[in-house]
Amino acid sequence: MEEQNLYEVLGVDENASQTDIKRAYYRQIRIYTNEKFPEKFQELNQAYETLFNEEKRQEYDRMKQDGGRYEATAHQVVEHISNENYYRAAQLLEEMLQDYPDDLTVKYRLADVYVSLERFQNAKKLGADLILENPHSEEYRLLMRQIYFHLGDTHKEEVQLKKLIQLNLNERNYHLLLSHFYTRQEQLDKSIRVIEEGLLVTPIDIENYFLLSELYFLAFLNQDEFLRKNTLKKIRKLPNNEEEKQQVMAFIMNDCDEVDQNHPALPDLVRLVKEMNQPSYQEVDEWLRDRQYVLNNTQAQQLSSYQEEAGEDLRGSILGSIIVGIIFSFIATPIVGIIVGFVYYFYAERIKQILGCLILIIIAVAIIGMFLSGL
């Protein structure tokens, strides 16, 4: 069955402007409504989505002109990329770029493949061309940000991230990326400010958890106790109903499962889940039991490690213990010397502290005695 001509579906000429295409689409869907003509309605939607998007329209026009060769090659490229055969994908895309030098889709895919091949300078050149063609494309800006990250050009990476936020203030991921950028630069105050600004401009809903979670961990890094506690309160107040509460608990549990088990943030997050789990859910109860078991084991290991370190700190050197043992062998008996040597080895620091205190006491008593005898 021959594929339908999308221009004919909308009833417009192939040279029709974007305005003509839009008018034709709305005129047609008023006639062919989804309720009465669902198949026709879907055809109109597909035609409009393709032709009203300039890049998709160019690709469609080219496919019509070359008898499907463009589409067939593009399909091979996708297949090679999915198999991680980036070298062959790059070859095909370079051939396509020669045949279609103004095709933005080919340029974008080739730049992306160059990144996978670590040919960052080649990718950078194509990415710059793409942004010149469409400076408002978030997709192109994200690609350039990735390229500058790999090239180590922090200034230009920062510029691209700030531009992405300007293009789409509501996209939380852009605020998170810029915050991560500043964290890598060890500029925690800037990281925190970016997240706080993101919370002010993005819609207030449970998706804000991801910004608040980032803020919570940044508060730990920055040793900001007030911010940490305040952020926990905001997370607690985030859900507006039972369904949202379950989602927020799932977000927190996922964070806990992904971070290091020794992270100092975990106990507070576990407590928060416990507080929110009212009425309790069996799955959450089981997770809390497992998590509490892990926390208890971690705390026990840390205590044991601390005790071992503390014990090692009290010990003296082997040579010092032998010398002390020999001295006391001459003063008393060999048995006494051996015992004193062992005691000194295990409690050298404590013995030194006690001797230091005794010396200070003797000196103090001598000074007081001299002072009294002078009177």
Q: Are residues 256 and 301 in the same domain?
A: yes
The token duo for 310 is: 């503390």
Task: Give CA–CA dist 62/14, Å, rounded.
Answer: 12
Q: Are residues 246 and 308 in the same domain?
A: yes
Q: Which long-range contacts (CB under 8 A, 24 or more apart) does 105-111 make?
A: 105/55, 105/58, 105/59, 105/74, 108/139, 108/140, 108/143, 109/77, 111/143, 111/147
| Residue 359, domain member (yes or no) | yes
Check residue 346 and give its pLDDT. Answer: 67
Answer whether residue 305 shows pLDDT above 70: no
| Residue 137, domain member (yes or no) | no
| Residue 250, domain member (yes or no) | yes
Which residues in 267-367 belong to E strands, given as ranges?
Answer: none
Q: Are residues 304 and 332 in the same domain?
A: no
Q: Are residues 296 and 320 in the same domain?
A: no
pLDDT band at 250 (very low <50, low <70, confident <90, very high): very high
Q: Do you find a cis peptide bond into 279, omega within 30 degrees of 0?
A: yes
Answer whether residue 140 shows pLDDT above 50: yes
Q: Are residues 307 and 339 in the same domain?
A: no
Question: Which H or E run contains 113?
Answer: helix 104-116
pLDDT in tens, 322-362: 776 677 677 777 776 677 666 766 666 776 777 667 777 77
Q: Which of 325, 55, 188, 311 is nearest to 63 (CA)?
A: 55
| Residue 218, domain member (yes or no) | yes
Spatial contact of 266 and 284, defined as CB atoms under 8 Å apart: no
Q: What is the residue whose two structure tokens read 């509501």?
A: 170
Task: Give CA–CA dist 232/236, Å, rounded.
Answer: 6
Q: Phi and psi for 123 in degrees, rounded to 5?
A: -65, -40
Q: Of the ranges 7-11, 13-17, 46-50, 346-350, which one carries the lowest mean pLDDT score?
A: 346-350
Q: Which of 138, 66, 156 is nearest to 103 (CA)?
A: 66
The token duo for 161 is: 């991230």
| Residue 290, domain member (yes or no) | yes
Q: Are residues 341 and 368 in the same domain?
A: yes
Residue at a domain's end among 177, 194, 222? 222
Angle formed at CA 222 by CA 218 and CA 224, multiple of 5 degrees:
95
pLDDT in tens, 88-133: 999 999 999 998 898 888 999 999 999 999 999 999 999 999 999 9
Full-model pTM: 0.68
Number of domains in the chain: 3
Residue at a domain's end among 313, 343, 366? 313
The token duo for 215 is: 């803020």
| Residue-range definition of the domain harbouring residue 322 | 315-374
Spatial contact of 213 and 180, defined as CB atoms under 8 Å apart: no
- What percent of the chain has a predicted confidence (pLDDT) above 70? 86
| Residue 231, domain member (yes or no) | no
Task: Give CA–CA dist 80/116, Å, rounded.
Answer: 12
- Mean pLDDT over residues 225-240, rounded? 94
| Residue 78, domain member (yes or no) | no
Within 8 A by CB and 6+ apart from 88, the residues are 80
What amino acid occupies position 101?
P
Task: Give CA–CA dist 41/44, Å, rounded.
Answer: 5
Check residue 320 and give its pLDDT. Answer: 67
3-state secondary structure of 15: coil
Answer whether residue 304 shows pLDDT above 80: no
Check residue 68 and give its pLDDT. Answer: 75
Residue at a domain's end among 313, 342, 365? 313
| Residue 23, domain member (yes or no) | no
Question: Which H or E run contains 134?
Answer: none
Q: Of the ranges 165-169, 195-199, 234-238, 338-342, which one carries the lowest mean pLDDT score?
A: 338-342
pLDDT in tens, 27-72: 999 999 888 898 999 999 999 999 998 878 887 887 777 777 888 8
The token duo for 126 is: 């194509």
Q: Of the ranges 2-11, 85-94, 123-132, 215-224, which one carries the lowest mean pLDDT score?
A: 2-11
